[in-house]
Structure 1
Amino acid sequence: MLTFIGLGLYDLDDISLKGQNAIIEADAVFLESYTSILTGTSPAELEKRYGKPIKILKRQDVEQHPEPILDAAKTGKVAFLTGGDPMVSTTHADLRIRAKNLGIETRIIHGSSIVSAVCGLSGLQNYRFGKSCSIPYPAKNWFPRTPLDTILSNLIQNLHTLVYLDIQETAFMSVQEGIGILEQLITGDSEKISLYVGIARAGSENPVVAAGTSEKLKDVNFGPPLHILIVPATLHDIEQEYLTLFAGYAPA
């Protein structure tokens, strides 16, 4: 049995009771560490709570070398832990397909996801979001324009864009870094982005939500990770009021 368990957004207490019980009953526990992390806790604290070792997985462990996970699931109960909801990532969908093809029973225990949390924190209506995108840290001779193209395409359709910010082993992209990369990619007035919404530490006791121009958000102290960015389209009256009340937005 391979059980995919979402840990939620921020700390140890975000998990559902169903997910918690599945970890307690598991013979082996794996935690993937590359699509999201819970910055309000640590693997050591997870091990302490559940009284069992947790194997930390990198991207290549899941995508290229999943045999230890699948072999354990053939003969016992395996808990595969992820931040947020476990099936937001296509990597996890691929792992479930592999398990199914090997005759391994699987199930999903969902967790709270940033996809829905951003709507509650920003007030932007969920059905008005278009295709999401990710901003990676640029590398030598590699500065992809794809995220900007996705945002501009959504804006033409009057759709909001959820923009995931890069997570690496030693670095977590900030709202300001993400905006800076987008601003570097913009080549003219036709590609202007007039409004951003930055969110930090969704799911925590004190998340930070701020809306405004790139210049305004550069001066906002979003604090520690994780951060995420939204580029809104034209605002509905309720969306505008919500951002004004809860994100410090000052309409021009």
Structure 2
Amino acid sequence: MGELVFVGLGLFDEKDITLKGLDAARAADSVFAEFYTSSLRGTTVATLELMIGKAIKSLTRKDIEQGSEILDAARRGSVALLIPGDPMSATTHVALRLRAIDAGIETRIVHGPSIVSAAAGVLGLQSYKFGRATTVPFTGDTFRPASPLDVIEENRKRGLHTLVLLDIKEDGEFLTAGKAIEYLLELAAERKSDAFTADTLVCAVGQVGSDRPRVAAGRAK
């Protein structure tokens, strides 16, 4: 029986991977990667392949959720799964690890820099003053989840900041901060909630991990 190693790639480019992560990727018989939870804007798969010295097969969310291909490979040998940020930040990766353990496959985690801690650092905020994080997804006529506003409301009652992650489609399209703010204002108005108003202070960060991260702050409207 082989091994499945979850390797965090960090935040921005190929230089964010740790030395331990690089060693694990180079030692693996097969290397897979996913970029549906985030994308490394400062690099490419080709650059990662050149640095590791191995071909990388990119997987979709469906591939990870099904897990059959990567688990079959891990039964035969050592597999590295490259993941932006820190490997266990997404529920799909946790579920895949549990499936591997149930199948008798050894698992290992090589952590990487995560936006969860980096966003606070870039903004000069205290990480321990953040509550539960939430994600604003792409919405539609029949899909308008209220959970992001619920999390913000809960955190504000406790005097805590909220890290709001923005959705990304598998074709690489990002939900913008502006669209997320519009949606939260609409939700709050519909529910007559004062948890998120035009006067709410909002900070937006992008390209964190690069030499010049983008930071903006102001009232929601």
State the TM-score, normalizing by the size of structure 1: 0.81
Deviations along 1:102-149, one digit per CA (max 9) or x if unpaired, are: 111111100000011011111221111111111011123222221112
Residue 179 of structure 2 is aligned to residue 173 of structure 1: no
Equivalence map 1:102-121=2 (5 Å): 102-121=103-122
Amino acid at match of 1:190: D
Match of 1:209 in 2: 215
Match of 2:82 in 1: 81
- 1:206 and 1:101, CA in 2 relative to 1: closer, same or farther beyond 3 A? same
Match of 2:59 in 1: 57
State the distance in 2 between where 1:190 and 1:179 align: 14
CA-CA distance at 1:9 after TM superposition? 0.3
- Percent sequence identity over aligned pairs: 48
Match of 2:201 in 1: 195
Q: Which consecutive aligned stretches of 4+ in structure 1 deviate over 4 angstroms post-superposition?
A: none
Residue 154 of structure 2 is aligned to residue 153 of structure 1: yes
Moved more, 75-84 or 40-49: 40-49
Residue 192 of structure 2 is aligned to residue 186 of structure 1: no
State the distance in 2 between where 1:2 and 1:94 align: 13
Tell me how many residue pairs correspond in the alignment. Answer: 214
Specify which of 2, 5, 26 is matched with residue 3 of structure 1.
5
Match of 2:38 in 1: 36
Deviations along 1:41-89, one digit per CA (max 9) or x if unpaired, are: 11122122223211111111111x2111111111211001100000111
Across the aligned residues of Structure 1 and Structure 2, the Cα RMSD in angstroms comes to 1.3
CA-CA distance at 1:21 after TM superposition? 1.0
Amino acid at match of 1:198: A
State the distance in 2 between where 1:184 and 1:140 align: 13
Amino acid at match of 2:112: G
Match of 2:141 in 1: 140
State the TM-score, normalizing by the size of structure 2: 0.92
**Relative contact order (C-alpha < 8 Å, sep 6+): which is higher?**
2
Unaligned 5+ runs, structure 1: 216-252
